[in-house]
Homo-oligomer: A and B are copies of this chain.
Amino acid sequence: MNLLLFTADDLLAPGRLAVSDRRLQHLHTVHRARPGDTVRVGETGGLMGQGVLVELDRQRAVIEFSLDTPPPAKLPVTLLLALPRPKMLRRILRSAAEFGVESLVLINSYRVEKSYWQTPVLQPGTVRDYLLQGLEQARDTVLPAVHLEPRFKPFVEDRLPALLAGRRALLAHPRDDAPLPPTDNRDALVVAIGPEGGFIPYEVEKLLDSGFEAVALGPRILRVENAVSSVLGRLLPAP
């Protein structure tokens, strides 16, 4: 937790907040914080700043803070991802927030097991918790939007065209396509990554027909989470 994120619910008064949940545990066990220590804080969706621990015990931490710093710019990237298995989904939600993608669309594919759509990880509160963990790691306050699209064809035919308008769309594919092209940090991108085993030919064709360019990540077949971080890593802006 490189940033303690809070919402209006945590405020005792303007400039004064209290936490008593996972964030309190983290202050004790990971930061080994003491009263008087400074902590970086951020308002979810808002500014970041510094705080001082004016009270700290087993029940709660009270922090007096001021906010002055905007969060880092988002990557102008929409990640279109075949729904991964739950264990991997958790890590990918954290990573998507950590890398700063603007939005994440989880779509169906022939090779996505139906049971994956039933996982408790997809409950809105749980999705939010994993995203917050990524923001806390990366020092960001702005949650990426997450959309679920459990039906491939209606999504591609009815909603994908609007999503792609004005954006460059890249389909990462472990094959002999063109390498990932250089992209300007300001290019708005949609990046699609298939399930383990890849999109089936019908799905690839539908995506290419919709305007995706097939690009290759190299000769190695990467696990989905490594494909994601490998692509997003290449798109991160220089400092």
Contacts and interface: CB of A to CB of B under 8 A. Distances in A.
Interface of A: 2, 72, 94-95, 98-100, 137-140, 175-177, 179-180, 216-223, 225-226, 229-234, 236-239
Contacts of A229: 225-226, 229-230, 233
Contacts of A176: 239
A226 B98 contact: yes
B179 A221 contact: no
B226 A95 contact: yes
A238 B180 CA distance: 8
A236 B218 contact: yes
Contacts of A95: 223, 226
Given A138-B222, A223-B137, A217 B236 contact: yes
Contacts of A216: 238-239
Nearest to A229: B229
A30 to B, nearest CB: 9
A112 B230 CA distance: 25
A137 B221 CA distance: 6
Contact of A218 (B177, B219, B239): B239
A237 B219 contact: yes
A176 B41 CA distance: 21
Nearest to A136: B221
Q: Which of A99, A137, A238, A239 has the most CB of B within 10 A?
A: A239
Given A229-B229, A233-B226, A233-B230, A179 B218 contact: no
A72 B231 CA distance: 20
Given A229-B230, A230-B232, A234-B234, A223 B179 contact: no
